Amino acid sequence: MKRLVVLLGLLLPSLAMAAGGSNVHLDHAAIDRTDKASLQRGAALYMNYCMGCHQTQYQRYQRTFEDLGIPLELGQENLQFSGEKVGEYMRNAMPTASAAKWFGAAPPDLTLVARVRGADWIYTYLRSFYVDDSRPFGVNNKVFPEVGMPHVLQELQGVPRETHEERMIDGEMQQVYAGIQSDGSGMLSPEEYDQAVLDLVNYLVYLGEPSRLEAESIGRWAIIFVLVLFVFVYLLKKEYWRDVH
């Protein structure tokens, strides 16, 4: 029962964020859990751009640094902006009540967001912000309409705007949505920004299942052991039944 309560506590904040959505086509996020360079870049992006609002309070700094091959001292110096000890959980200092007042709802914990939403959803979402002066933060999102979150990666992407093109529909030329394009003022090119988002998504996927690779490795060896054991058990069975017949 206690484990069930803990699991619900992990899932409910992310499920609350999952309430919004749209029917926008999701682009495939070609993540690679074995790419430690990508995971390290994703961790750096998360700590610098996301951690101020979104906690991952069920993951420890030390576990992250060790799994991603980051020396503990280097990680503490460059990536740990809260807490004093490397063994502490990854929390921020934002008061929940104040955050709910500022954003309309408290920013959810993102430890399990990749498991709730999926990598493709997050990848498309972070590349679907566009300028909308009617919104409180001046941006909206195609995947999550009327999102209450600012475009925190705008300095990397640049100012994103909707683009339209003319298409013949029902015998009439109409303006239809053609995608989102940056104005080029960002620190990264469109290709570099897509890669940065992919790195960030890769890191979030890792956070959702930090022991995934280890579990898969153990599972493979367990299957090999069972197969080898089966051979010996079969030979033993034949030896016993030879005397019976």
Q: What share of the chain is helix, strand, coil (3-state, %, to 5)?
A: 50, 15, 35
What is the extent of the structural domain holding 224? 217-245
Residue 12 sits in the same domain as residue 83: yes
Q: What is the distance between the alpha carbons of residues 24 and 7, in angstroms, rounded to a whole number?
A: 29
Out of 12-16, 172-176, 224-228, pick the least confident: 12-16
Residue 71 sits in the same domain as residue 137: yes
pLDDT tens per residue, range 100-126? 888 888 889 999 999 999 999 999 999
Question: Taking 50 as the threshold, does the pLDDT of residue 15 lie above it?
Answer: no
| Count of beta carbons in the 10 Å neighbourhood of residue 26 | 17
Residue 156 sits in the same domain as residue 130: yes
Phi/psi at 125 (5° precision): -60, -50
Q: What is the CATH number of the domain that holds 183?
A: 1.10.760.10
Pick the closest to residue 13 from 69, 58, 70, 73 (CA basis): 58
Task: Give residue 214's pLDDT.
Answer: 82
pTM (predicted TM-score): 0.79
Task: Give residue 169's pLDDT.
Answer: 79
Pick the closest to residue 51 from 133, 152, 193 (CA basis): 152
Domain count, the chain: 2
**Residue with more model confidence, 27 or 177:** 27
Residue 86 sits in the same domain as residue 200: yes
Residue 223 sits in the same domain as residue 121: no
Residue 177 sits in the same domain as residue 79: yes
- For residues 188-208, give the mean pLDDT: 97
